[in-house]
């Protein structure tokens, strides 16, 4: 029996989401492992605008919650990631390509930081600007994914408003 085209499209979209999330998470985890080995004893790499410099964050964004027990931070972020994964999986059926991509990228960042934190209770950071807290690739994924999600939502709302104004269904 041949699957309907819609089912095949949804399956393909979900597979792409999983590949994006796993691939980007693996990339960030690899960079974190490199940073932990190569940026020890205060060593850093100066790239001009940004430095590769090792730091560890026991909290979440901007070190919020850094005094909370690691098990609590892990539990709460795990619950949030589970909810995000379910939402992302379901959105593959109806979401636009930019929305699906944004959710996959956010999920990648969340999973990478979760896996990193699960090892020893802290997240490894390696991108340092001097004027902003040190961060990592997973943080970049979450930020860029969230911005893309907001822009995709605003664009979809603008298109819907435009269609309504023209009298289209």
Q: Which residues are catalytic?
A: 125, 139
Angle of CA points 142, 21, 10, to nearest 5°: 115
Question: Which residue reads 């994964």 in tokens?
Answer: 85
Cβ count near 61 (within 10 Å) = 13
CA distance 99 to 146: 10
Residue 47 sits at φ, ψ, to 5 deg, of -110, 20
Let me know how long the chain is.
Answer: 169
d(CA 34, CA 162): 49
């Amino acid at each position: 029996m041949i699957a309907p085209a819609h089912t095949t499209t949804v399956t393909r979209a979900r597979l792409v989401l999983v590949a994006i999330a796993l691939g980007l998470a693996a990339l960030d985890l690899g960079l974190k492992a490199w940073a932990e080995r190569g940026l020890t004893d205060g060593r850093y790499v100066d790239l001009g605008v940004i430095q590769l410099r090792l730091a560890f964050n026991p909290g979440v964004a901007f070190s919020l919650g850094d005094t909370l027990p690691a098990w609590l931070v892990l539990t709460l972020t795990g619950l949030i990631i589970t909810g995000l994964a379910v939402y992302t999986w379901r959105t593959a059926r109806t979401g636009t390509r930019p929305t699906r991509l944004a959710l996959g990228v956010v999920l990648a960042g969340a999973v990478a930081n979760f896996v990193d934190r699960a090892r020893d209770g802290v997240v490894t950071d390696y991108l340092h600007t001097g004027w902003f807290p040190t961060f990592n690739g997973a943080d970049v994924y979450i930020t860029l994914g969230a911005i893309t999600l907001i822009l995709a939502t605003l664009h979809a709302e603008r298109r819907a408003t435009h269609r309504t104004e023209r009298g289209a269904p």
